[in-house]
Amino acid sequence: MVTNNGAVNPVVVTIPTPQTVKNLTIQDPTVSVAKDGVIKIIGPFPPELYNNPAGGTDPNEVYLEYDQTTSVTVSVFRV
């Protein structure tokens, strides 16, 4: 995923981890993207940790959360 932050403040991206490892919750990683047009590449997202589980909401999808979205552009791609 490529995030371009054109805002005047940094943006924080949180990647929720719906899976567990040996019944332990995994802390959701966060990435700070600096202000003023900074571009940051985030990923990869291993499916066994980040994909939503089968049978749940949006199975096999990865969620991303932003603390703000004004002037933030996101591009997602698969390699």
Sketch the domain layout of the chain as residue ranges: 2-75
Q: In this predicted model, what pLDDT tens digit does every residue of 4-13 receive, in sequence order?
A: 999 899 999 9
Q: In this predicted model, what pLDDT tens digit does every residue of 14-60 receive, in sequence order?
A: 999 998 899 999 999 999 999 988 999 999 999 999 999 888 889 99
Sequence-distant (≥ 6) Cβ neighbours of residue 8 within 8 angstroms = 35, 36
Residues 62, 51: contact at Cβ < 8 Å?
yes
Output the pTM of the full model: 0.85
Single-letter code of the amino acid located at 31: V
